[in-house]
Amino acid sequence: MDKLTQEKDLFLQQLQNLYDQMQVKYIEREQKRIVQKQHRYQQKIYGVLFGVALSLLWLILLLRIYIWQQSVALLH
Which pLDDT score, from 0 to 100, does residue 74 have?
84
Measured CA angle at 57 (ends 51, 58), to 5 deg: 90
Which pLDDT score, from 0 to 100, does residue 65 have?
96
Which pLDDT score, from 0 to 100, does residue 14 have?
97
Which pLDDT score, from 0 to 100, does residue 75 have?
83
Average pLDDT per block of 10 residues along the chain, 76 residues long? 89 96 98 98 98 98 96 84
This prediction's pTM: 0.61
Residues 2, 8: Cα–Cα separation, whole Å = 10
Which pLDDT score, from 0 to 100, does residue 76 have?
73
Which pLDDT score, from 0 to 100, does residue 46 have?
98
